[in-house]
Structure 1
Amino acid sequence: MKEKILDKATEMFLTLGFKSVTMDDIAESLGISKKTIYQHFKTKTALVEASVFYLFDSICNGIDFICEASHNPIEELFHIKKFASEYLKDDKSSPQFQLKKYYPKIYERIIWKQFEVMYDSVKENIKKGVDTGIFRPEVDVDFTSRIYFSGMVSIKDTELFPSDIYKPSDIAEKFLEYHIRAIATEDGLKILNEFINENNN
């Protein structure tokens, strides 16, 4: 039952927002009493926290699978972006920004976990790109990995990038292209342009 509650709560939080979904809403959606939820999660904040880390683990597992299966570092970044955007329902809401606004302590904990994972992942991606001649060997890997993380967090800020002007999935694509163009070799740029052309047709 605990996992069913977690699954449903996570889905509702992502679709409708962390603030607007109540314990009553989750109970009604599952056809159980609110008391049953409280047996597993003492407060809504506890459920939000559990949902956030449950989601984080699920996304990390998906990204690991993509990294193992990818053909080159550029495709890998685009596939990760697509997977994360779809999983987080980015076109419907901005869960990360909602979390920061309404549950700042949980946000602070998850953002550092995200940094640890993304920092290592981007470093590996850049190293693979350098080894295969796709990314420039003089790229400062540590600096670029930190800037990439910083940018990915910033584009979720709906005050900086209002959703009526910037569609979340589009802005993530723009940022990813910006990142790759900054570090790619001539061969890398050819791969990037081919990938963009293939996926825009």
Structure 2
Amino acid sequence: MLYVKHGIKSVSVDEIAAMLGISKKTLYVHIRSRDELLQLVIDYSLTQFIAGLRKLLEPEEHVFRKLGHLYSYIIKINRKVNPSFLPDLKKVNIGHFRRIQDFRNDQLFSFVKSIMEQGVQEGLFRPDLDLKLVYLNQISKIDGGVLKGSPGYNQTLFSDSIYKLIINDLIGMTTLKGHQEFEKQYDELLHLIDGYSQCNFQKTK
């Protein structure tokens, strides 16, 4: 996970071996190249991401809370990714980069689509929504890569603001029935992100 946290170019094989508690020579007995190591990191990260998301969503029944948990979770994971990771990955191995993009466009989208379709069936969301466009719009907000590392950037505050933008966007997609239900849950939904911030990250004062 050092690659994800610090960026590919900032992490040496020696550091990877040290983290695993083995020598570099032993590491190369099991892994032949950096590309192979990157593939293992990506496989592990995506598997863990999906497992965590399923564990979070399966007990929840209500559409709006499902979406709140889903976007909070994505934002939480995004905080852990170094801004240079994807640009570095694109330069180092375009195949690995495309795999992550495909994952986002297919598997991750399928989670959002399933919840939104449930909302349409329950009369909470309008049936004329372009669900892929909705998803891409929300993900583009979360990415916000150009702001990371800029002067005065506060990761937690920025993430909280993006989450609230997404929640407020959802209001405009609801039916009259959905809007009324959304209003009842609005305060609870806004504060879902707080649990992720407090449990996983120290807030900047």
| TM-score band w.r.t. shorter chain | 0.7 to 0.9
Where structure 1 has 5 or more consecutive residues not aligned to the other structure, the ranges are 1-9
Partner residue in 2 for 1:115: 105
Partner residue in 1 for 2:116: 126
Q: 1:182 aligns with which of 154, 172, 182?
A: 172
CA distance in 2, matches of 1:45, 1:171: 36
Partner residue in 2 for 1:139: 128
Q: 33-42 vs 145-154, which deviates more?
A: 145-154
CA distance in 1, matches of 2:107, 2:181: 24
Q: 1:79 aligns with which of 69, 74, 99?
A: 69
Partner residue in 1 for 2:199: none
Query: CA deviation digits over 1:145-194, x for unaligned, max 9?
Result: 344135414642522x3443463523541442244123123224314523
Query: In the TM superposition, what is the alpha-carbon distance from 1:92 to its structure 2 partner?
Result: 6.5
SS in 2 for 1:183: coil
Partner residue in 2 for 1:158: 145
CA distance in 2, matches of 1:135, 1:188: 11
Structure 1 outlier segments of 4+, above 6 Å: none
Query: In the TM superposition, what is the alpha-carbon distance from 1:72 to its structure 2 partner?
Result: 1.1
The residue identity in structure 1 corresponding to 2:187 is E
- Alignment: residue pair count: 186
Query: In the TM superposition, what is the alpha-carbon distance from 1:96 to its structure 2 partner?
Result: 4.1
In structure 2, the CA distance between the partners of 1:97 and 1:178, relative to structure 1 (3 Å rule), is: farther
In structure 2, the CA distance between the partners of 1:194 and 1:151, relative to structure 1 (3 Å rule), is: closer
TM-score, normalised to structure 1, is: 0.76
Partner residue in 2 for 1:3: none
Query: In the TM superposition, what is the alpha-carbon distance from 1:20 to its structure 2 partner?
Result: 0.8
TM-score, normalised to structure 2, is: 0.75
Tell me how large the CA RMSD over aligned residues is: 2.8
SS in 1 for 2:79: coil
Q: Is the 8 A contact 1:41 1:47 kept in 2?
A: yes
